[in-house]
Structure 1
Amino acid sequence: MTIGEVDERVPSAPESTPAPGHTPERLAMFTDAIFAIAMTLLVIEIKRPEGKALKDTASLWRFLTHEWESFFVFVLAFVLLWTVWRRHHVLMDQVVRLNRAFTAWHAPLLLLVAFLPFPTALIGEAFDNPLAICVFALSEAAVLICEGALKEIAHRTPVLSEHADRAQVRRGANSSWAVGAFFVVMGALAWSVPGIPVAWLLAPFAAAYGGALIERLRRQL
């Protein structure tokens, strides 16, 4: 019997009123709030032009081009948070009740999401510093590992609706593991390879091909 077969046979949660403290809606709303705050704080960390930088068009242009790293990392971090939030939104729309493990894994996920503006600001100020790159990459990897853990718990335990596609949830977990591993590798390469942050644009390919590879390996176990 394969892992996939075991997962598919996990019973769905009964369509009943959740116990107090186990309502998916409240957890989803709180998660949405943390993501919204973190995504807003990203732009606050971008340096503003002051003094001579505002004297004329040429000075302002020099300032903006000099700060391109900050804008690049802001957009990248925003898109990463957006995609994690969007996938979490899809997952929570299929959850009908909570259990202790599923709820508990939200704590490190939201802690890391709230923390992400700091490494984003750090790498914006030190774009070529391998330690700054490593801190950002490992922070993002940790977010994705928590996301993968949530999806694993969701397809292995009876928290999903009877109409949920458990196989799709499992494939989503595989993609999260793959991109998390991708960022760990990128963090390690930062110490020897210049321009690593630009390579982070390849994350969608890591999700697609790495996730498919993990799914294939899991079916063979």
Structure 2
Amino acid sequence: MILFTDAVFAIAITLLIIEIKVPEVHGAMTEEAAIEGLLHLIPKFVGFIIGFFVIAIYWVAHHRIFRFAHHYNGKLVWLNILFLFSIVLMPFTSAFYTEYTTNINTPFILYCGSVAMTGLLQCLLQSYLRNPKNGLINPASVGHPDLDLVRPLIAPSAFLIGILLVFIAPWWVSRNVPVLIWPLMALYNRRYHRLQREYAAKHQAVAA
């Protein structure tokens, strides 16, 4: 299951760059024409960079939580497939958004909704995986900070804020919401370190 998931992630992240075509220059090729063609691709490259790292974050997260899994069942497999469905959708929503960066809001809303859906599906997948009733992980690992359900909600929160800002703020404000992920993660790290201390103290007490 992990190998299949890695293959899907690899294909999805590769498709992002395939959507960027070499600029066509009409007439004689000159330095000015080549530079102008590249400048027109800047929005697409910005979208590619954002999409690349968003997918990369989810790939890292998938490995982080699945290292705890010792068993799997049919429901976990299908939850994982649903999660991957949202991943393979990202190259399309990303390309649609970067094609119409500032003109209209629908592509941006679709892209934000796509990323938010991925985060929520990861949360659902992680919730099922960490539930001790399902017998998929060591019960002692249930409280591990890497299985905290707050973390997968950070990216969806940022992109849902972006959808909200579409209706109440200038376009350039809403389009920059992906950068919120980094300060939100910085805030979350405080919670993560606290959970780490609590988890370590709990296991030290049990060992004693």
**Interval containing the TM-score (normalised by the shorter chain):** 0.7 to 0.9
CA RMSD after TM alignment:
2.4
Q: Which residue is equivalent to 1:191?
A: 167
Match of 1:82 in 2: 56
Would the aligned equivalents of 2:130 and 2:137 in 1 still touch at CA under 8 Å? yes
Residue among 109, 123, 137 paired with 1:160: 137
Cα distance, 1:104 vs structure 2: 2.1
Q: Give the structure, 1 or 2, with the largest relative contact order (CA under 8 Å, sep 6 or more).
A: 1
2:124 aligned to which of 149, 152, 158: 149
Structure 1 residue 206 displacement after superposition: 2.5
What count of residue pairs does the alignment treat as equivalent? 188
Deviations 1:103-147 (A, max 9, x none): 221122111111111111111110012111100000000011111
- Choose the corresponding residue for 2:88, options 107, 114, 122: 114
The alpha-carbon deviation at position 32 of structure 1 amounts to: 0.5
In the TM superposition, what are the counterparts of 1:61-140 in structure 2 within 5 Å? 61-128=35-102, 129-140=104-115
- Which amino acid is 1:83 matched to? I
Check the 8 A contact 2:158/2:177 in 1, yes or no.
no
Distance verdict in 2 for CA 1:180–1:162, change over 3 Å: same
1:174 has 2:129 as partner: no
Alignment of 1:18-97 (within 5 A): 27-52=1-26, 55-97=29-71
Alpha carbons of structure 1 residues 53 and 165: separation in structure 2 relative to 1, 3 Å: farther
Measure the CA separation in 2 of the matches of 1:54 and 1:140: 41
Is the CA contact (8 Å cut-off) linking 2:25 and 2:34 kept in structure 1?
no
Select between 162-171 and 182-191 the one with higher mean Cα deviation.
Answer: 162-171
Shift of 1:60: 1.2
3-state SS of 1:190 partner: helix
> Matches of 1:54 and 1:175 in 2, distance apart?
52
Q: Give the TM-score, by structure 1 length.
A: 0.76
Q: Secondary structure at the match of 2:22?
A: coil
**Percent of pairs identical after alignment?**
21
Structure 1 residues 62, 210: CA separation in 2 closer, same or farther (over 3 Å shift)? same
- In structure 2, give the amino acid aligned to 1:153: Y
Answer whether contact 1:178 1:211 (CA < 8 A) is retained.
no
User: What CA distance in whole angstroms lies between the structure 2 residues aligned with 1:177 and 1:212?
Assistant: 16
TM (normalized to structure 2)? 0.81
| Equivalent-residue separation in structure 1 for 2:23 and 2:88 (angstroms) | 26
* Shift in Å, 1:209: 2.9
Q: For 2:184, what is the secondary structure of its paired residue?
A: helix
Is the helix fraction higher in 1 or 2? 2
Query: Unaligned stretches of 5+ in structure 1?
Result: 1-26, 217-221
- Counterpart amino acid of residue 24 in structure 2: E
Unaligned runs of 5+ in 2: 195-208
Q: What's the offset of the Cα at 1:211? A: 8.1
